[in-house]
Amino acid sequence: MTLGAPAEASSYAAAMALLEDRPLVVLTGAGVSTDSGIPDYRSPGSPARQPMTYQQFISGPQERQRYWARSHLGWRRMGNATPNAGHRAVAAIDPDLLITQNVDGLHEQAAPSPAANRRIVPLHGRVADVICLSCRTVSARRDLQARMEPLNVGWAEAHADVETRPDGDVALEETADFVVPDCEICGGILKPDVVFFGENVPKDRVARCTDAVDALATCDGALLVAGSSLTVMSGYRFVRRAAKAATPVVIVNRGATRGDAEAAYKLETGTSEFLADLASRRDSRPESSRA
């Protein structure tokens, strides 16, 4: 671990001391998955990219064609991604609740048991699931991918060199020839079962996360944010709520975040390294001191 100025090293040590013995809720963002080869939206130096909104998606068949053509290519890469050291470290930390803004499902893959998996809230859903906007049937993305292949023979090979973007997207503008399947049950519009910009996170997910963050104030716990700029309110609201209740917040992210002013400590270091260090320290605690 290489740290910069003495003040940064001091903050790192203080943040570790704060987190290693407390009950935790962990909130993760796209920065945790970059070591798995999945780009994020807001790394320092990255060009600004705006994902498709829900209003665009439902506005007409051309927009859906554009989404699915690009996603068909991106899924081949994102669907094969595997958990990295950061995901495995969060699983070892085993927080009271893991709130993830990521839709890649890698935290779920890293979870060591069904019980641990149930303590994960994918705030924005999972790109591995597809929902019909008419009959609300949920199906596997891999099944849809298999249906797309014979309808679009040679598409992936013809666009093999396109740039990968966040959340299974790619840099491709010409999509007019792509064929989009409909729901096999009712013929309705298929959408990835994720929360698009312009949609609201389901209330039951928000309530579960809110309850867990509120509980930290009663058990001397802390909120750890890893790899998120907190630009969208869906995640930032939990930082605001924790800070208002005087629950300490630690943010680990390269680059400024919306919650920096509310954090007890803000660290500009790699999330995988920090999380692995924290997992090791928590694992080495005497049994009598573990929550």
Instruction: State the virtual CA torsion across 17, 14, 256, 168 in degrees, nearest 10.
Output: -20
Average pLDDT of the chain to the nearest whole number: 89
The neighbour count for residue 59, using CB atoms within 10 Å, is: 11
Whether the pLDDT of residue 33 is over 50: the answer is yes
Instruction: State the virtual CA torsion across 234, 240, 241, 244 in degrees, nearest 10.
Output: -170
pTM of the model: 0.88
Q: How far is CA 283 from CA 29, 73, 107, 111, 182, in A?
A: 24, 40, 19, 16, 49
Helix axis angle, 61-78 relative to 141-151, nearest 10°? 110
**Selection from 35-49, 84-98, 102-116 with the highest mean pLDDT:** 84-98
Share of the chain above pLDDT 70, in %: 88
pLDDT at res. 172:
77
Distance from the Cα of residue 105 to its chain's centroid: 8
- Contacts of 156 by beta carbon, 8 Å cutoff, 6+ apart: 72, 73, 76
Q: Is 194 helix (H, G, I), strand (E, B) or coil?
A: strand
pLDDT band at 261 (very low <50, low <70, confident <90, very high): very high
Among candidates 190, 175, 232, 155, which has minimal Cα distance to 57?
190
User: What distance in Å separates the CA atoms of residue 15 and residue 131, rounded to the nearest whole number?
Assistant: 41
For residues 151-170, give the mean pLDDT: 76
Question: In this predicted model, what pLDDT tens digit does every residue of 187-201 receive, in sequence order?
Answer: 999 999 999 988 999
159 part of the active site: no
Annotated binding site: 132, 135, 183, 186
Q: Which of 72, 87, 107, 124 is catalytic?
A: 124
Scanning 125-270, the segments in alpha helix (DSSP H) are 141-151, 155-158, 203-216, 233-244
Annotated binding site for Zn(2+): 132, 135, 183, 186
pLDDT band at 245 (very low <50, low <70, confident <90, very high): very high
The neighbour count for residue 61, using CB atoms within 10 Å, is: 9
DSSP string for 78-108: HTT----HHHHHHHHH--SEEEE---S-HHH
Whether the pLDDT of residue 117 is over 50: the answer is yes
pLDDT band at 286 (very low <50, low <70, confident <90, very high): low
Token reading at 185? 């049950």
Report the greatest alpha carbon distance in the chain: 63
Whether the pLDDT of residue 2 is over 50: the answer is no
> What's phi and psi for 142, nearest 5 deg?
-60, -35
Question: In this predicted model, what pLDDT tens digit does every residue of 53-78 receive, in sequence order?
Answer: 999 999 999 999 999 988 888 887 77
Domains in the chain, ordered, with CATH?
Answer: 1-38+83-124+200-291 (3.40.50.1220), 47-80+125-194 (3.30.1600)
Whether the pLDDT of residue 185 is over 90: the answer is yes
